[in-house]
Amino acid sequence: MTVKKFNLPDVGEGLTEAEVVAWKVKPGDVVAINDVLCEIETAKSLVELPSPFAGTVTELLVEEGITVEVGTAIIAVAEGAEGTEGTGDVAPAAPAIEMPLYGKLPADDDHDDNRPAGGPLVGSGPKADAVKRRARKRPAGSVEAATVAENAEGTVQDHQAVLEAKAAEAPASHRTTPARTAVAPVSEAPVAQAPVIQAPSAPATQPAGTPTAASRGAAISGTISGLVNKVLAKPPVRKFARDLGIDLADVVATGQRGEVTREDLVSYQAQRDAEHDQADSFWGASKKPQDQRVERLPVKGVRKATAKAMVESAFSAPHVSIFVDVDASRTMEFVKRLKVSRDFEGIKVSPLLILAKAVIWAAARNPSVNATWVDNADGNGNAEIQVKHYMNLGIAAATPRGLMVPNIKDAQDLSLKELALALNELATKARAGKTQPAEMQGGSLTITNIGALGIDTGTPIINPGEVAIIAFGTIKQKPWVLDGEVIPRWITTLGGSFDHRVVDGDLSARFMADVAAILEEPALLLD
């Protein structure tokens, strides 16, 4: 009795290791050549490893779940009478060959049936039953139809095609599909203890316990289908995917041979986290640490300068605010006529244009709102009020860089059309971030159009160096009492903040009333 050790064969495709998934035999079992010893999993697929020896299993040298390198002994088999006992009639073996029989089985033709196969055998070759069968010669015309074709990637011929080919006694076309289980060669007649698929011409009755051709074909088809959909990945990668809760079928494989790598899993997880964060919109995922859910934005540039100016203004100028509701229905009618006017063709016209003109008109009637409070003007601690006889009209603009207040120089000299063009240019440059610092200096009075955001009114903070600012609320239809009747009208609310050191309650009220009057009746601008 000779004890031989079966080493893990070269699995091909440049792979150097495989995991022993499950043993199909145990010590004391009698095995024949090509009996399945175990299942191994490589980075390519899960395959069955056939025995190159006939004899009795003496020892399993590798436990299930262990990954071993090629050339490592995994099982010991004792060859001798005990190992071949009860095998019946067997095909002549090649006793002079001591190396394992790796590779594909040669097709049954007129050549020597006892020659060893060449190339690595991993899941390749037929899955023989425990009882050996005598090799039989077949007519040349039925050889290809009766033989199950396999290639180095572990593929089998469709059994249905074999049946049809045998029935027709003509060569069948080979349709290959990846498989995880090796299939035994089909013989012309059943051998004791080794049921095979019968040709349609065989007797209708079969021995008890013998699977039908349909049932075996269905089982093989299910196995093949499972392997077709199996994702290639090494065992450590599969474990990593299970830990992350990732389905390998959802991951795009970038491995050299189409396998899923660890990097693929990391990339997929990062993408999934990003999609999750995006789906949650503003709120960060609760599973993340709290410091990772805080976005930090440095304060610099325009926002830093604006913040400093607003703080200085809020704490240096005593603010007083007043509000007034205005029926702007005639302003809306006027704007509508201007939009269809040939003089304003191609020019954007909005109610803000009328408000700007109204502020200029009202400032001329109330000059102190167009002024500046100057501390220590004479160097001796004496303050003074500087009334400006020009209007550099500021328009607050929200930009990605922060709040900006460019101003239209000498706005009092512009016609309605010229003022409309200036407003369009100012807004365009502000949104594009092309506003120059000089364009934000020397302002006289500011308008902030919060109505564009659907806000009714607010309490604006005075721009530094000025004493007044007007907040223009949204214009929308509301019920309004006119001549004793409640009718829908276009209503807006004006909010004004003033430096109480310069503009007292009386002056601020009169100024706001004048602005409201123009919005109620734009024809007053003709005065």
State the number of CA atoms in the 13 A half-sphere of 159 facing the CB.
25
363 vs 253, which has greater pLDDT? 363
Per the CB < 8 A criterion, the answer to whether 515 and 362 are in contact is: yes
277 vs 125, which has greater pLDDT? 277
Give the tens place of pLDDT for each residue, 37-83.
998 887 767 788 888 888 999 999 988 888 888 889 999 989 864 43
> Among 102-116, 376-390, 433-447, 493-507, whose mean pLDDT is lowest?
102-116
276 is catalytic: no
- Say which of 159, 174, 389, 500 is annotated catalytic: 500
Per the CB < 8 A criterion, the answer to whether 260 and 232 are in contact is: yes
> Among 161-165, 197-201, 471-475, whose mean pLDDT is lowest?
197-201
H helices, E strands: number in the chain: 11, 20
Q: State the average pLDDT over residues 247-269.
A: 87
Domains of the chain: 2-228 (no CATH), 235-293 (4.10.320.10), 301-526 (3.30.559.10)
Q: State the average pLDDT over residues 123-147.
A: 46
Cβ-count burial 147-162 (b if 16+ within 10 Å, e if not): bbbbeebbbbbbbbeb
Per the CB < 8 A criterion, the answer to whether 135 and 56 are in contact is: no
Looking at residue 103, what is its pLDDT?
A: 41
pLDDT at 207 over 80: no
252 vs 511, which has greater pLDDT? 511
pLDDT at 189 over 50: no
Q: State the average pLDDT over residues 516-521.
A: 96
Q: State the average pLDDT over residues 205-227.
A: 56
What's the pTM?
0.47
Angstrom distance (rounded) from CA 92 to CA 266: 54
- Going by the DSSP 8-state scheme, the letter that residue 210 receives in this structure is P
State the number of CA atoms in the 13 A half-sphere of 522 facing the CB.
19
Looking at residue 154, what is its pLDDT?
A: 39
Give the tens place of pLDDT for each residue, 215-224.
666 556 555 5
Percentage of the chain lying above the pLDDT 70 cut: 68
Looking at residue 386, what is its pLDDT?
A: 93
Q: Is 17 helix (H, G, I), strand (E, B) or coil?
A: strand
Looking at residue 152, what is its pLDDT?
A: 37
Q: State the average pLDDT over residues 378-382.
A: 84
* Parallel, antiparallel or unpaired: strands 445-448 and 393-399: parallel
Exposed, middle or buried by CB within 10 Å (0-12, 13-18, 19+), for 48?
Answer: buried
Looking at residue 497, what is its pLDDT?
A: 96
67 vs 358, which has greater pLDDT? 358
> Among 63-72, 456-465, 484-493, 497-506, whose mean pLDDT is lowest?
63-72
Look-up of token digits 């290959």: 176
Question: Does an H or E element contain 399, and which?
Answer: strand 393-399
Per the CB < 8 A criterion, the answer to whether 169 and 144 are in contact is: no
Looking at residue 184, what is its pLDDT?
A: 43
pLDDT at 136 over 80: no
Looking at residue 222, what is its pLDDT?
A: 58
Please report the DSSP string for 41-80 in residue order: E-SS-EEEEE-S--EEEEEE-S-TT-EEETT-EEEEEEES
pLDDT band at 214 (very low <50, low <70, confident <90, very high): low
pLDDT band at 480 (very low <50, low <70, confident <90, very high): very high
Angstrom distance (rounded) from CA 33 to CA 130: 9
pLDDT at 121 over 70: no
Angstrom distance (rounded) from CA 400 to CA 416: 29
Q: State the average pLDDT over residues 170-180.
A: 43
Q: Is 313 helix (H, G, I), strand (E, B) or coil?
A: helix
pLDDT band at 100 (very low <50, low <70, confident <90, very high): very low
Angstrom distance (rounded) from CA 208 to CA 205: 9
* C-alpha 478 chain-centroid distance: 46
